[in-house]
Structure formats: structure tokens, C-alpha cells
Amino acid sequence: MFRFRKLLLTLFIIGFSYLNAFSQRTEILLDEGWKFSKGSFPNAAMPGFNDSRWETVSVPHDWAISGPFDKEIDKQVNIITQNGEDKPSEKTGRTGALPYIGEGWYRKSLNLPVIKANQKVLLQIDGAMSEPRVYLNGKLVGQWNYGYNYFYIDITNEIKPNNNLLAIHLNNKAKSSRWYPGAGLYRNIHLIIKEENSVDQWGISITTPIVKKEFAKVNIKTKLTGANIRLVTQILDASGKQVAIDTAKSIFGNEADQTIRLSNPNLWSPETPYLYTSVSNVYEGNVLKDVVKTRFGVREISYRAGTGFSLNGEVRKFKGVCLHHDLGPLGSAINTAALRRQLTILKEMGCNAIRSSHNMPSPEQLELCDEMGFMFLAESFDEWAKAKVDNGYHLYFDTDAEKDVVNLVRATKNHPCIVMWSSGNEVPDQFGAEGVKRAKWLQEIFHREDPTRPVTVGMDQVKATMQSGFGALLDVPGLNYRVHLYQEAYNAFPQGFILGSETASTVSSRGIYKFPVVKGIDKQYDDLQTSSYDMEYCSWSNLPDDDFVLQDDKPWVIGEFVWTGFDYLGEPTPYDASWPARSSYFGMSDLAGLPKDRYYLYKSRWNKNEPTLHLLPHWNWAGREGQITPVFVYTSYDSAELFLNGKSLGVRKKDNSTPQNRYRLMWMDVKYEPGTLKVVAFDSNGKAVKEEQVVTAGKPYKVVLTADRKEISADGKDLSYVTVSVVDKNGNPCPTATNALKFDVKGAGKFKAVCNGDATSLESFVKPTMKLFSGKLVVLVQSDKKGGIIELSVNGKSLKSESIKIISK
């Protein structure tokens, strides 16, 4: 059983103008003024190197996302064993068909404030793809291999007050990933100046070993450097009011261990993500030397045979999704507004958990999950010692795995959102005794660094893990698919519960429907799309309804993480060998973040705060008059009546005859005729309570713009996502429109990117023109630092144009 309370480390950030007032610790974000070039430059680390012709960029930066798409990029001839393949074939678009392969250099000049005699200077890199080699004033000062990990370097002895040159070399090998990894300094870089007498970097560990309604026990372990120091720790509530304070009684081995009583605590949960702040004040005598602020949440987790997973004493199931790290048209470059939009869309669906697949999450993603209320399964590796791809993590496993896990845990363990670690995903090491040893070794490292959380592995070779003991040794046995083996695994494993660590892998293209409507495994079509009737899946996977049955009927199944919440770049299954497919079809929402029909199937089951009623397909089927065109309804209600042009097509009620009949309302014999298709839902008393309709639209007439946020921050980074669609003269959406559109942004911002969600589109994300896909696309508008009005104008041939104003301040 695991119990835990957790707090997130947030560094005390101060600007240059406040340096004298807060001289104890300064954090500087190194985001602007970088020079970048792709290629091999032997002397680029040296101060005298001429970079005047290099591109000036801001970090985070992904050098590959601007394209172009190219079939020849990272073309692989191999066997994907995870897909059940037994012979090699050519794979195109597997890593997104974007130019991420090769070397790249970043250079930046650094002029620092005065560094005092007893101060230290650290450089922290949250992620760099890949194999970063860090040079300061021409000298190699640090390096790392794993592009998804965080690391920091002590550069105190190499830094000068002025005229420093920071240079970072990156190298992305071909055949190093199974999806689009991105390229460049894609996460944030921090410069930290602190006193010698101070808190160690990542040196605070906060847990809550006792949580009751009346009080919570907050345990804070603080690693310190220096001598003759005193530690005073405050706890602030969400409003900033001090609610507890304690002075460490003693410091043993440079670590203070404090237990602080917190009266009448507010507990952290997805519904109430309440955050406290611990303020660690380090004194030498009466002189304040360091201040570190750490956000945390008071909560308890437990995993028990019989009851499964509990949060704060309440049994609950994970209603989770898997997410790759790319942000669609932004690529891998981290952006908080983009992450927040993703999580907002998932929250509205009723999602309560995220799995970082198959890599270590960004600090910004964890911070948002703390704030917005998502439980988190933090994953580490997609490979151990045995290879999936030629140049994957297996090259570093023996030398780097321990230090990579250590950095993951120490950098993130104070986040209340994290409720579980994963040491791997579908690793080929599941077979044999060596794999069992590796699983045990990694799990013990996690336990040593954090004894409060359990460890899982996403297992796809379930039979093998039953026989070898691999699955039995894990804290949480995670099954990727294999719904037919759940009962056998539950009987075989001693833990008394099973987690659906990866589920469904149903495929669909937003707004695309195929006939006849039947279950299909690895179905392929000439247009390289998949059907949004949500009846198609992969050879190793299943339909969502099969997982719903297990989640609802088996109390020992503790939840699921659906593959995936959003489409992602690369891995275009079932079209791995077909061009121009270059991104996935698995998402509940497409690459632009627009919900597919399947989004509403999950919402009807997961979102308990508002009723769901969603009707599909669209009703523009010229040429199908009189042909069978089935109608599905995804709803939280048990029954509904369907009408076509005012005529009832009957009432359907959910039943247990098939998994689909249990969770969907289906009219399989509807014959298409243009007009109005309407559904009326009934409550448990048979009263009509909600209705939805779709209408046959005429020709596209006018552009319609809808912004997710009409007011954004003037920080040069914030984004407004503007959904662009077209309607006919009567205002009816045109669901099959493919008009080419142009975008123009004026005022206090700029055009950032555009995406239509079409997995086969080769149009650039960064050029201000694109075709609609299934009647929609999304334009990203970014603020500048001056503030004011941003105006986006959209026009297309034979369409009435439209504009929208966004305030930046």
C-alpha cells in the first residue's frame, strides 16, 4: 500500500530589477536572443565564431516543425513488433516526415549581474533534443544524452561577469524514435544564481504522511549546503496567508527534517486542486541567504487489493488519456497556453488523469496538472536494454538509466498531481530473466528516491510477464490492451488489481465516415482516412466499449489511460507504409485540438457534471439518397428518439446485448434523404429533456471565427486558438468544405501557426494559408510584448471574409 502527500517545487523567480532587494536567489529565464543554425560547425563553441548569418530564435524552439514534409525523412524498413508484424516493410511518416535529423547549434551571449564571492551559478536545462553538449566560453562544461530529461550544471568556476558565450550542440540520429521527437532546445533553460549557504537544487522533499479532517502532518526534508545555517519554513495557504511556521531543530548530514502540523487542511483532488506553498528561508546568523518557494498539495493515495486505488480515502478510477509531448502545429516546443488548452479540452470531457507517453513530462505540464486537477502517471522510457529502433534509448540504458530516473524523481516529486511512476512502456525486455532483473532494479531506484508512490510498466506481452514473474513484481501491473487477458492476469498476479495503462487505440478521422458501418481491424481506404463511426481499430487493440465493460463491471480494474487524448505527429497507423500519411489517427481530438465524435463517446461516460448528447454523422450526403446511412448518438441518457424531416425513426434504449448497444444508441437502417436529422433524449422518467440536430447544408458562403480566448497576455508567448469554419447562407455549418483560406494578422501580435487536423496534409503549419478539412481548421495567434488589439482576418475564394479582434494586455 502506498500513501502520500505531495508538494511541487517552484523556484523563487526574480527579475534583474529586483536583484538588490532579493539577492539570495535569482532565476533568469534564458528565452530570447539565441542564434541558431542546423548543421555541423566545428568551431561554433568558440567565442570568436561568426554567427551573424544564423537565425535569431526564441527558446523553447523546435527547428523541424516548419518542415517541409518529406517522404524520405527517416524512412525505415523494419518490423514493428508492437503491431504484431512478422516481416519488414517500408515505413514513411513514422516520425512525422519532418526534418528533425541532424546536428544543430545554439549560441547566446550572457552578461550577468555582479556575482559575489560566496555565490553559485547553475544552468538548468528542462529538455533538449537530443544529446546536448553544453559549452561556456569555448569549454565543455556538461552534457546529457536523454533528450526528455532535465539536468543542471554548476558553472560557477567558468562564468565571467560579462561577455560570456553559452553554446549548445545537439545531435538527432535517424531511427532514434517511434514518433516525432522534435528537435532543438524545445523546453526552457534557466540560469540560477544563489548563495553558497542555501537549499540544494531539487533538494526539498515534501510529503503528508498523515491526513485527517482535523489536521495533516506535513513532512519536509531539506538538503542544504553551507555551515552555521538556520532553516525557517513557512506554509502559506492559496491566498498567501501564513498558516504554519517551524524552525528546524537540527540539521544532520546537511539535511533538515521537519514535521509541521497543518490544521483543517484543504485536500488536493481533481475536483478541488488546492495548493499550499512552503517557503524555505535559510539564514546565516540573522542574515537571510536563500528563499525557495515550493507549491504542494495535501493528499493521500493508496493502492490495495480488493478496493483498488483511493485518493483521500475515496475509491475512484482513472479516467485517463495518454499524451505524446508534441503540441500539434507547434511541434515539441513547450508553450503553456497550448498545454492549458489541451487540458481544458480534456477537463470538459471528464478526463481526470494523464499519462506522459512515453517520456518524462515537462515542468509546465505538471504545474498545470497541479493547478487544474489531473492525476498524473509520469513515464520514463520507451526502451530499456533491448532495442525497438536502431538508435533508441538502449544505447544509453546501462550507463544512464539510473541518473535519468534520479533526475526525473528529484525534479518533479513535489507535484501533487503525480500518483504513479512508470519505468517503461512495452519494452522488449518483458521476455526472460534479464528483463525481470531490470524491472526490479528500476523499481528499486524509484522506491529509493520516492517511497511514497508505486511503479508500473505498460506491458503488452502479458502472457510472457505472467510466466517470468515480471508482472508479479510490479507495484501496479499495467496492461496495454489485451482485454481478453484481464481476468487471467488478475488471477495470476498477486497485487489484486489491474490498471489499463494503455487502452483502445481506436482510429478515426474527424468528420470522415465510411460505409458500410461494421467493425473493422486495420481497415484502409484510398484516401488514407479512417471512419469516425468509431468502429475501426488495430490488430492489437479494441473498441472503447470493450474497455468500458471492464471498467464498469470489474472493481479490480482501477482505471484506464486511452491511446490517445490528441492526435500526434508521426506513427500514422494503420497507414505506416502509405504516403502522405504523417500523423496519428488515435486521438479523441485531432492534431488541431478539434474534438472528434469519439470525444463525445467518452464524455458521455466520464463527465458527470453536465449531460452529453451528440449526433453523428453529418447530413451532407449528395449521391447517397435512399442508401443506408446509419446514425449513432453518444449520450449520457439511456434512451432517445430519432427524427428525419419530422418523421420518427423510432426510440432506442441502451441494453447489454453487445458492448456497443450498452454505450451507444444506434439506428442502423436509416436511409439518407437531405433535410434535418434530430435526436430527442429522455430522462429516466421518459420525459424529453434535450435535443440536437444536424442539417443538410448548402454551398459554403461565409467564414465564421471563434476564439478560445479573446484576451491574452502581452508576454510574447501567449496564444489564442481561433477555430475557423464556414457556413451556408442560412448559417448551417458546411461539414465537407475544403476551401483554401488565407490568414492575415495585424496589430499587437502575429500569425503563429495553422492546423486542419488532416493526417495526410502536406501544407506547412507556419505559412498563413491552408485548406479546411471536414469544414474546419484552427489558427494560432500569438501576442507581442507591447499589448493592444490583435486582428485576424480570414478570406477565401467565393467566401464572405471575416475578422476577429483579440485583446493583448
Q: Of 284, 367, 502, 536, which is the active-site residue? A: 502
pLDDT at 23: 58
Same domain, 191 and 219: no
pLDDT at 11: 27
Q: Would residue 602 count as lying in a domain?
A: no
Q: What is the mean pLDDT of residues 312-338?
A: 98
Q: 115-125: b or e for each residue (b if 16 or more CB lie within 10 Å)? A: eeeebbbbbbb
pLDDT digits (tens, 9 = 90+) for 612-664: 999 999 999 999 999 999 999 999 999 999 999 999 999 999 999 999 999 99
pLDDT digits (tens, 9 = 90+) for 436-474: 999 999 999 999 999 999 999 999 999 999 999 999 999
Same domain, 324 and 231: no
pLDDT at 128: 98
Q: What is the pTM of this model?
A: 0.95
pLDDT at 4: 33
Q: How far is CA 365 from CA 42, 295, 371, 439, in A?
A: 36, 15, 10, 27
Same domain, 719 and 758: yes
Q: What is the mean pLDDT of residues 93-103?
A: 97
Q: What is the mean pLDDT of residues 731-758?
A: 98
pLDDT at 15: 29
Q: Would residue 759 count as lying in a domain?
A: yes
Is 802 known to be catalytic?
A: no
Confidence of residue 91 (pLDDT cuts 50, 70, 90): confident
pLDDT at 68 over 60: yes
pLDDT digits (tens, 9 = 90+) for 121-156: 999 999 999 999 999 999 999 999 999 999 999 999
> Measured between alpha carbons, how far is 559 from 799 in angstroms, rounded to an integer?
47
pLDDT at 8 over 70: no
pLDDT digits (tens, 9 = 90+) for 153-192: 999 999 998 899 999 999 999 999 999 999 999 999 999 9
Q: Identify the helix (H) or strand (E) that includes residue 366.
A: helix 363-372
Torsion sign, CA atoms 193, 197, 199, 203: positive
Q: Which residue has the higher pLDDT, 24 or 158?
A: 158
Domain end marker among 649, 669, 695: 695
Same domain, 261 and 328: no
Same domain, 202 and 313: no
* 511: alpha, beta or left? (left if phi > 0; alpha if psi -120 to 50): left
Q: Identify the helix (H) or strand (E) that includes residue 773.
A: none
Q: What is the mean pLDDT of residues 554-572?
A: 98
> Measured between alpha carbons, how far is 519 from 530 in angstroms, rounded to an integer?
12
390 φ, ψ to 5°?
A: -55, -40
Q: What is the separation, in whole angstroms, between the first and last Cα of the chain?
A: 49
Same domain, 34 and 146: yes
Q: Would residue 291 count as lying in a domain?
A: yes
Same domain, 652 and 731: no
Q: Would residue 526 count as lying in a domain?
A: no
Same domain, 408 and 475: yes
Peptide bond into 454 cis (omega under 30): no
Q: Which residue has the higher pLDDT, 15 or 269?
A: 269
Domain end marker among 163, 195, 227: 195
Same domain, 317 and 353: yes
pLDDT at 161: 83
pLDDT at 510: 98
Confidence of residue 14 (pLDDT cuts 50, 70, 90): very low
Q: Would residue 658 count as lying in a domain?
A: yes
Q: What is the mean pLDDT of residues 494-519?
A: 98
Q: What residue numbers bound the domain in which 203 lies?
A: 6-11+197-297
Domain end marker among 264, 297, 330: 297
Mean pLDDT of the chain: 95
Q: What is the mean pLDDT of residues 539-564?
A: 97
> Measured between alpha carbons, how far is 638 from 655 in angstroms, rounded to an integer?
9
Say which DSSP state 355 is in. E
CATH code (residue 204): 2.60.40.10
Share of the chain above pLDDT 90, in %: 93
pLDDT at 6: 30
Same domain, 26 and 160: yes
pLDDT at 83: 67
Q: What is the mean pLDDT of residues 34-48?
A: 97
Is 195 known to be catalytic?
A: no
> In 3D, which of 304, 302, 238 has the Cα closest to residue 272?
238
3-class SS letters over 526-559? CCCCCCCCCCEECCCCCCHHHHHHHHHHCCCEEE
Q: Would residue 187 count as lying in a domain?
A: yes
pLDDT at 225 over 60: yes
pLDDT at 697: 98
CATH code (residue 501): 3.20.20.80
Show the cell assigned to 302. Answer: 493508496
pLDDT digits (tens, 9 = 90+) for 376-431: 999 999 999 999 999 999 999 999 999 999 999 999 999 999 999 999 999 999 99
Q: Would residue 135 count as lying in a domain?
A: yes
Q: Would residue 648 count as lying in a domain?
A: yes
Q: How far is CA 761 from CA 494, 663, 757, in A?
A: 48, 33, 8
Q: What is the mean pLDDT of residues 73-80?
A: 83
Same domain, 186 and 137: yes
> Per-residue DSSP letters for 286-346?
TEEEEEEEEEEEB--EEEETTTEEEETTEE--EEEEEE-S--GGGTT---HHHHHHHHHHH
Same domain, 714 and 691: no
Q: Of 131, 379, 383, 426, which is the active-site residue? A: 426
| Residue 555: alpha-carbon gap to chain centroid | 28
The tally of domains found in the chain comes to 5
